[in-house]
Structure 1
């Protein structure tokens, strides 16, 4: 057994056989002899257990990129933002030669030419208009079938015109075909997975700054990243505290301004968010027969959840129609939102903070 291959569960058949035999002898109250039927059954049970353990170990190794194979390896690659490279088509440049005295000629995109042996077919990748004064024109072509099979055709070996064109007398490739590749192998993909962390060498992008900022302190519930002026990165964290602790801002600054995180040209600023206070006041008309106390408590509870949800993120607007919709429970006939008097537009550097919720039952209606 290769010592480099991990084993998650013991699979030594002698060990398993000994353990199973000892337990069975304990249950039977006697020793099992080699020729007895119990020993034959025991051999079969141990064999099946070994098969299951081998499958389990093989399945667990699939979770490690060093030993994984497709398609599990592709899922592991996705965790580090990598996709298996697809097969690529080979290409080259072919030269079309036209007859003397031709007029304007169009060589349409998709015109097919093939190798002498007929094994590789190539197509032009763009429309080419040939003026009357031009006798030859060079055109890029790509193979119909992706893969390595279309590589290596020497100059002059791509010379068959499969889609004849008026005034075109000759075609041949002027360079060797190349660039075709098969689908990336498991081994190649494993190598790129191993190198993947190096692509995150600095923050740079908004997503990277978000990652590093959220990793700075466990109190942070949300982060806003913006660039108010070129070269400046403004990071605004949100915590459950009414006032953002200075330590949180210091932690963010220290993490995000580190040399191995911050691009050289960026200036990092960590600032507390702006609190935007508001109240929720609603007048509610209930259907006849509804209990006012029960319904008021239910509506208040729904609005408290709404306010808490909005408080948990930066930049969430407070919309009056949304408040009214939250209040429309089964026994509610009509809702009028008194406060806020208008929709509150919250910027990415702000968070809405509800200071009070007031639900007034103004009447009843038969509906």
Structure 2
């Protein structure tokens, strides 16, 4: 959720305040002061401790009635109120091209689930998701495959890497995936789910408003991190998509989103929709950092600075339209323990809507030790 809300508490969780309140009430009722070693004071302190624990539990339960704090099964119930279930784990998918040694004399059907393919390692398997018909005129046939397990394990198989049938077919000379496998994910994380619930009222309209397009597009896959919706001219809608950790969407993910927003009960009749990855703006990173001479654990600082620089690259490319901002990099490195940071490149650059900044080359140099 982009809205920043103040922290709230329904009940006090400060045991000292509760104990003082008990003591004051007793002293006013009895007309005497309790000494520090009075047994009644110890009893009141114990009661305050027990009530504090109860107040913490009550506080947490009450706060989870609010979307901002809801988590776990309660968050799923909040989603149910808006007809927005959590996105379940998905399996990676790809397209397998099956080359025939010779044209068949008769047409043949390969039924859904009959074809099982894998890579040379054979640890991950992909199964056909639809019936495929091989005609007598075909020299090859393309079949959609889905990984047999859900999650990201099936992602990232390069073109040609899935090249073996578990059960060989006599008329097949070669198989190969012609798209990189993608789309496998774990169950939607709670922050993304909370954000979709926040957007859910937008779907009371069809996908005409910007927020409605964002809601429906994000509902296509848990891998989606950011969506930018633009209408360059009336009747035309461009949707730019970015995945988690700044990854660009595969054709399979783009197709999933397109099918989601182009459904007849979602898309306004007059809208023409395109879904694509954002335009890439590349930058080079050249950084020199220095550490204070008297720093206690210089090795740890080196590790933290290197990690901060890597995290900056992910941060920079994880949102569409985010300006290239070296000040963020300097701040992160200083927090990681660097004394001084010299960012030679990049310089600040405003990024247009629909663009994303992606690091092309990285050069990180330790400049040495400096006195404070």
TM-score normalised by structure 1 residue count: 0.50
- Bigger Rg over Cα: 1
